[in-house]
Amino acid sequence: MSGLLELWGTLPAYAQATFWILVVTVALILSVAFTTLWERKVIGWMQLRKGPNRVGSIFGLLPGIFQPFADVIKLLLKEVVLPSKANKWLFRVAPAITLVPAFAAWAVMPLDPRLVIADIDAGLLYVLSLTSVGVYGIILAGWAANSKYAFLGAMRSAAQIVAYEIAMGFALVGVVMAAGTLNLGDIVRAQQGGVGDWFFIWLFPLFVVYLIAGVAETNRAPFDVAEGESEIVAGFHVEYSGIAFALFFLAEYANMILISALTAVFFLGGWLSPFEGILAADNPLAQPGFHWLFLKLFFFLTCFMWYRATFPRYRYDQIMRLGWKVLIPVTLVWIAVEALMVHYGIGPWSAN
Amino acid sequence: MFVQILFYAFSAVLVAAALGVILSRNPVHSALSLVLAFFTSAALWLLIEVEFLAIVLVLVYVGAVMVLFLFVVMMLDINVEEVRSGFTRYAGLGALTALVVIAQMVSVYWVKGLGIDATQGAPPLPADYSNTRALGEVLYTQYVYPFELAAMLLLVAIVAAIALTMRRRPGLKAQDVAKQVAVRREDRVRIVKDVGKDGAA
C-alpha cells in the first residue's frame, strides 16, 4: 500500500489528473444508472407501488438492484432508427453535445478539501458557460429529426433554458458577492464555520431561485414542457431510439446530479461538515470530506424526484411568467439587499 | 512545442469553421460553423492565458447570442437562391474588404520584421496570477464610471427594444394570471342538490 502511494507521488500531474477524470466519469455513469433506479423506486413508494423489483437482488436484499443494467443492455441492442429526410450527421451528434458539458463541468467541482481536478479561478464562469452549451444538443436534436413535435419541443426548451439561465446567473452573482471569489473551492471555504455560515441562510431567496431555476434548466417536471408527452409526444427526442435515446437520458440525469452538486457547493458548504464548530474539532463528525458533499447531493437529487411525483406540469406561459416576472425581480432585490448587508458589515462575510 | 501543435490544430479548425460559415449551403450549418469558430477562438485565447475572456466568449456568444441566432435561422424560411443572386453585385465590395484586411495583416507582419515590436510578446505569467481578479480590479476602480455608463446604455437599449416592438393587439387571448390566481372556489363551483323525480333527495 505504501509502495503504491509512493508510486502515485512520482506520477506527473497530468497522469494523476487523467486518473481522477476516469474515476469521476465512471462514478458519474454508475450514479446515473442507479439514479434512474432510485427515481423509479422513490416515485413508486410515493404512489404506493413497489417500483422495479424483478431484476436481480443481493442475497435476497435490494430486489431490482440490477434493473439499470437490464435497461442499458436492452437499449444497446435496439436499432437506432434514422428518420427519413433527417439531417444524418447532426441527428447523430446531438446526443453527444448534450452529454459532454454535463460531464465536463465536473472538472472544476471541489470533491474534497484537497481534491479538485482543475483548480481554476474562473471556475464558476466555466460551469455556467459549459452548461449553457448543453442546450445546443436539444435544439439540434429537435431540428435535425425533421419532425414537428421534435421541433416544437426544441423551441420550447431553448426559450425556457435561455430564460432561466438569467435568473440562475443572478442568483450566482449573490454567491460570488458573498464569497468574493469565482473559484468553487474558495466558495466552499468561504462558508466555513458550521451550518450558520452556509450561504443558504443569508441568501435564502437566491437559494430558492437557484433551486427552481435548476429544475427548469434540466427540463425536469414540473418544467418539462420540452417533453410534454400529453401535448407533443416526447418533445425533442421523439425520433430517437435505442442507445441514442439512452444518451439523452444519461445527459438529463447527469445534469440533475450536476445541479444538485452545484447547489450543495454554492449554498450548503459543499464538503464542509454541518457539525463544524458545534462538536469538538477532533470529532469525526466535524471533519470535512466527500461524504458530506455526497449526502447533500443525494438530498437534492431525491428532491428532484419528489417534485416530479408531486407537481403537475406548468403551462408554457406560466413558465415564462415565473422566470421573467418573478424569479429575476426577486434576485435583483436580494442582490441589492445583500450589497447593503456587505456594506454595513452584517452577516458572516463581515469578517473578511 | 506542445503548445505550438495545439495552436496550429486549433487554428486549422478555426479557419475551416470560418470557411464553413460562408460556404455551406444550409443556413443552419453556417450558424453552427460560427459556433465552432467561437469555440475554437476561445481555445486559442486560453493558449495565451486570457482564461476570463475565453470563458466569457463561450458564455456570451456561444451560450446566449448564438442560441437565439440559431433559433431565428431555424424559424425563418431563408431562400438560398435569392441570397446567392446578390453575389455578383457585392463581389467587388467583398474583394475590396478582403484586400484591406490582408493588407493590415501583412503590415503587422512587416512591422514585426523591422524589429520595432512594441509588444515583445508578453512574458509568461506566474501560476498564481488571476486575470479575472486583475480585470475586476481595474474595471471596478479605475474604469468604474465608463463601466456603469456602458451598463446604462445596455439597459436603455433593452427598454427601447421592448418599447418599440411591444404593441397591444386587440382580440388577443392571453391569460391574465392575476385574475386566475384570484379565482375562488365560489366563483366557479355551484353545488346543486340532486332532486329526484318524486322530490325526495
Determine how many CB atoms are found less than 10 A away from the CB of residue A341.
Answer: 19
Size of interface A-B (CB pairs under 8 A): 64
Evaluate whether residue B151 is within a structural domain.
no
The phi and psi torsions of A279 (rounded to 5 degrees) equal -90, 165
Q: Is residue B102 part of a domain?
A: yes
Give residue A282's pLDDT: 74
**How distant, in Å, are the alpha carbons of A111, A120, A286, A288 from that of A193?**
18, 24, 10, 11
In a domain, B196, yes or no: no
- CATH number for the domain spanning B38: value is 1.20.120.1200
| B-chain residues near A159 (CB < 8 A) | 71
The segment with the largest mean pLDDT, out of A186-200, A313-327, B104-118, B151-165, is B151-165
- More confident position, A272 or B99: B99
Cα-trace Rg, chain A: 21
d(CA B66, CA B132): 24
The list of chain A residues with pLDDT below 70 reads 1, 347-352
B interface test, pick of A125, A131, A183 with most B CB neighbours within 10 Å: A125
Instruction: Supply the ipTM of this predicted assembly.
Output: 0.79
Record: contact A121-B59, CB cut-off 8 A: no
Domain total of chain B: 1
Contact status of B30 with chain A (Cβ, < 8 Å): no
> What DSSP character marks residue A259?
H
pTM score, whole prediction: 0.83
The distance of A129 to chain B (nearest Cα, Å) reads 4
User: Which of the four pLDDT bands, split at 50, 70 and 90, describes residue B12?
Assistant: very high
**B177 vs A318: CB contact, 8 Å cut-off?**
yes
Joined together, the cell numbers standing for residue B148 give: 456603469
Question: Which of A115, A221, A214 has the alpha carbon at shortest distance from A164?
Answer: A214
* B73-82 residue pLDDT tens: 888 766 666 6
Nearest to A222 by CA among A233, A236, A211: A211
Split at pLDDT 50, 70, 90, the class of B16 is: very high
Report pLDDT digits (tens) over B22-58.
888 788 888 889 999 998 999 998 888 788 888 888 8
Q: How far apart are the CA of A351 and the nearest CA of chain B, in angstroms? A: 20
Number of H helices, E strands in chain A: 14, 0
- The whole domain housing B53 covers 2-124
Structural domain includes residue B197:
no
Plot region of B148 (φ>0 → left; ψ -120 to 50 → alpha; else → beta): alpha
* Nearest-neighbour CA in chain B from A91: distance (Å): 13
Grid cell for residue A251: 445527459
Identify the pLDDT of residue B80: 66
Residue B79, in any domain of the structure: yes
Cα distance between residue A36 and residue A49, in whole Å: 16
Average pLDDT of every residue of chain B: 83
A323 neighbourhood in chain B, CB within 8 Å? none
pLDDT, tens only, A291-331: 888 889 999 999 989 998 888 888 888 888 888 888 999 99
- Residue B120 has a CB neighbour count (10 Å cut-off) of 6
Query: How far apart (Å, rounded) are the C-alpha atoms in residues B41 and B62?
Result: 11
What does chain B come to in residues? 201
CA distances from A62 to A37, A303, A306 (A): 11, 22, 21
- B186 lies in some domain: no
In chain B, whose CA is at the least distance from the CA of A121? B130
Whether a cis peptide bond, with omega within 30° of 0, leads into A205 is no
Structure confidence by residue, pLDDT tens digits, B127-142:
667 777 788 888 888 8
DSSP conformation class of A227: T
Question: Is residue B147 situated within a structural domain?
Answer: no
Residue in B closest to A101 by C-alpha = B63
A130 vs B contacts (CB less than 8 Å)? 58
C-alpha torsion sign, points A319, A321, A324, A330: negative
Q: By a Cβ cutoff of 8 Å, what residues of chain A touch chain B? A: 90, 120-122, 125-126, 128-130, 132-133, 135-136, 139-140, 143, 151, 155, 158-159, 161-162, 165, 182, 317-318, 321
Would you state the cell numbers that stand for residue A48, as one nine-digit string? 404506493
Q: Which residues pair with A58 in a beta bridge?
A: A61
Residue B99: the pLDDT is 94
CB contact under 8 A, B133 and A121: yes
- Residue A148: CB atoms within 10 A of its CB come to 12
Q: Is the pLDDT of residue B118 over 70?
A: no
DSSP summary character for residue A10: H
What gap in Å lies between CA B199 and CA A53, rounded to an integer? 55
Contact call for A165 and B63, based on CB within 8 A: yes
